[in-house]
């Protein structure tokens, strides 16, 4: 089986199935979530390329859409040292937990195994994946510089500009202007459509542009006092209560959010670079050329991931080599060309392949210039080991309750506070 994508979770349930070997051929399994752009169906066909270069290696990817459920399952498997893929993706919201004292010993030190040239990665990306005692537990895949993706057809019908420069000026410099643009859209909105997909998505976008997020400067969780969280909450709540969103939960398992792309149910989505691949896949060929990309109100970084190699794997040497190859500058450039994921390697970011890149699906939008410019404005925030979990509580248990169930914002905030206290103890 070549480059197979298995939509079954992030690993098998038993050690005997992870990293199998048959007749001298090693099967390496990689667990991912979302859209990494490696696969042989819609991605950059990197698995097939690696298999050609290494005839004794077969690669199987296990992919799920929900990053939180992926991480919860991965933590359980790590605690048991079983059911793990040979390579596991780790989202930036969980990297501080992965490098923390309770989990750091579970991973192979990739500064010593696999042959990766760590000098090629962005310095802050390497720092995020380095433990207190200097071990590098993961290699950077992408970063998530922010833009706004918008449906030109819906904008035209709502009597808003469609040129990306003019669209960017609608909200330049202030997320409050983005809300104002939504109010304008609402006045002439095509029936059955909303300005934005999700209040939770807006919350994440606003917070991603703030240098103070869930943690204080020392990396200690301090979400209740964070000015960034408070601002993002305020604007997310305003969008929800003003009827500017489609009231969708991003990455929902039922596929409602995915279907809404195809059916043009909303006009904008906060668009870190990796979102372009999702839009292309979910909106489909029928909507090619209908979407475009504009600069965001404020530069920010939403997301970005790493590849890590669990020590419990049967083929850690081969897995480390594959992880190093997948995250090398050459492969970063290939993934960007197909999927739009912005590389976390310095030279690739500045290369003509990225700087001059366009994306046919988005009407040959100069995605390279848009996202590399956004990347230059990123101010990395301090992160705590709890960022990913607190984000889930604030969005799925806070903003979403306000948006879908009409929960009072004060009550929703208190519910989140209690969840953090109960689940995290802080």
pTM for the structure as a whole: 0.81
Same structural domain for residues 167 and 42?
no
* Average pLDDT, rounded, for the chain: 92
User: Is there a domain that residue 228 lies in?
Assistant: yes
Query: Domain span at residue 416?
Result: 148-301+380-423
Q: Which of 340, 355, 370 is the last residue of a domain?
A: 355
Give me the pLDDT at residue 253, please.
83
Provide mean pLDDT across the span 329-342.
Answer: 90
User: Is there a domain that residue 96 lies in?
Assistant: yes
User: Is there a domain that residue 367 lies in?
Assistant: no
Same structural domain for residues 218 and 338?
no
Provide mean pLDDT across the span 91-106.
Answer: 95
- Residue 10 pLDDT > 60: no
State the Cα–Cα distance between residues 250 and 264, nearest whole angstrom: 15
Half-sphere exposure of residue 396, counting CA atoms within 13 Å on the CB side?
A: 15
CB 195 within 8 A of CB 248: no
Give me the residues paired with residue 245 across strands. Answer: 196
pLDDT in tens, 174-231: 999 999 999 999 999 999 999 999 999 999 999 999 999 999 999 999 999 999 999 9
CB 122 within 8 A of CB 346: yes
- Residue 373 pLDDT > 90: no
Same structural domain for residues 128 and 274?
no
Give me the residues paired with residue 136 across strands. Answer: 130
pLDDT in tens, 46-98: 999 999 999 999 999 999 988 889 999 999 999 999 999 999 999 999 999 99
What does the H/E/C string look like for 62-124?
EEECCHHHHHHHHHHHHHHCCCCCCEEEEEHHHHHHHHCCCCHHHECCCCCCCCCCHHHECHH
Same structural domain for residues 279 and 343?
no
In eight-state DSSP terms, residue 370 is: H
State the Cα–Cα distance between residues 315 and 321, nearest whole angstrom: 10
How many domains does the chain divide into?
Answer: 2
Same structural domain for residues 234 and 297?
yes
Lowest mean pLDDT among 1-5, 185-189, 366-370: 1-5
Residue 238's φ and ψ, nearest 5 degrees, are -60, -45
Per-residue CA distances from 351 to 102, 255, 327, 354 (Å)? 39, 36, 16, 5
User: Is there a domain that residue 365 lies in?
Assistant: no
DSSP SS3 for 246: coil
pLDDT in tens, 270-296: 999 989 989 999 999 999 999 999 999
Task: Give the range with max mean pLDDT: 35-44, 218-227, 346-355.
Answer: 218-227
Same structural domain for residues 28 and 175?
no
User: Is there a domain that residue 371 lies in?
Assistant: no
Half-sphere exposure of residue 43, counting CA atoms within 13 Å on the CB side?
A: 24
% residues pLDDT > 70 (the chain):
95
Q: Residue 348 sits in a domain of what CATH number?
A: 3.40.190.10
Give me the pLDDT at residue 42, please.
83
pLDDT in tens, 246-269: 999 999 989 999 999 999 999 999
Give me the pLDDT at residue 148, please.
98
Same structural domain for residues 293 and 330?
no
State the Cα–Cα distance between residues 139 and 141, nearest whole angstrom: 7
Same structural domain for residues 32 and 101?
yes
CB contact set of 91 (below 8 Å; sequence gap of 6+): 33, 67, 71, 303, 304, 305, 306, 388
State the Cα–Cα distance between residues 62 and 142, nearest whole angstrom: 19
Element (H, E) at 343: strand 342-343
């Amino acid at each position: 089986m070549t480059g197979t994508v298995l939509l079954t979770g992030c690993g098998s349930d038993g050690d005997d199935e992870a990293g199998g070997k048959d007749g001298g051929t090693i099967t390496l399994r990689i667990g991912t979530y979302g859209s990494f752009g490696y696969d042989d169906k819609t991605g950059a066909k990197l698995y097939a390329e690696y298999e050609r270069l290494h005839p004794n290696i077969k690669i199987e990817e296990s992919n799920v859409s929900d990053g939180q459920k992926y991480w919860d399952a991965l933590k359980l498997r790590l605690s048991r040292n079983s059911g793990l893929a040979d390579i596991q993706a780790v989202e930036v919201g969980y990297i501080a937990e992965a490098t923390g004292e309770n989990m750091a010993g579970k991973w192979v030190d990739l500064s010593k195994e696999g042959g990766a040239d760590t000098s090629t990665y962005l310095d802050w990306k390497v720092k995020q994946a380095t433990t207190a005692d200097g071990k590098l537990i993961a290699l950077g895949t992408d970063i998530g510089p922010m833009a706004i993706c918008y449906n030109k057809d819906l904008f035209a019908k709502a009597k808003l500009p469609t040129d990306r420069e003019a669209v960017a000026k609608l909200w330049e410099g202030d997320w409050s202007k983005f809300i104002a643009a939504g109010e304008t859209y609402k006045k002439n909105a095509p029936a059955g459509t909303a300005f934005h997909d999700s209040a939770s998505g807006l919350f994440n976008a606003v917070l991603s542009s703030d240098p103070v997020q869930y943690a204080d400067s020392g990396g200690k969780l301090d979400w209740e006092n964070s000015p960034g969280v408070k601002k993002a909450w305020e604007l997310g709540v305003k969008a929800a209560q003003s009827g500017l969103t489609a009231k969708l939960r991003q990455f929902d398992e039922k596929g409602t959010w995915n279907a809404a792309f195809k059916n043009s149910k909303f006009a904008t989505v906060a668009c870190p670079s990796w979102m372009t691949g999702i839009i292309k896949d979910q909106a489909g060929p029928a909507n090619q050329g209908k979407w475009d990309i504009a600069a965001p109100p404020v530069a920010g970084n939403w997301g970005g991931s790493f590849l890590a190699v669990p020590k419990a794997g049967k083929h850690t040497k081969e897995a480390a080599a594959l992880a190093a190859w997948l995250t090398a500058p050459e492969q970063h450039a290939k993934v960007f060309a197909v999927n739009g994921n912005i590389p976390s390697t310095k030279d690739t970011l500045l290369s003509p392949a990225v700087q001059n890149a366009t994306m046919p699906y988005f009407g040959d939008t100069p995605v390279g210039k848009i996202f590399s410019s956004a990347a230059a404005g990123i101010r990395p925030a301090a992160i705590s080991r709890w960022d990913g979990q607190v984000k889930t509580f604030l969005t799925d248990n806070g903003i979403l309750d306000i948006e879908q169930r009409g929960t009072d914002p004060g009550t929703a905030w208190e519910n989140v506070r209690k969840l953090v206290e109960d689940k995290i103890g802080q």
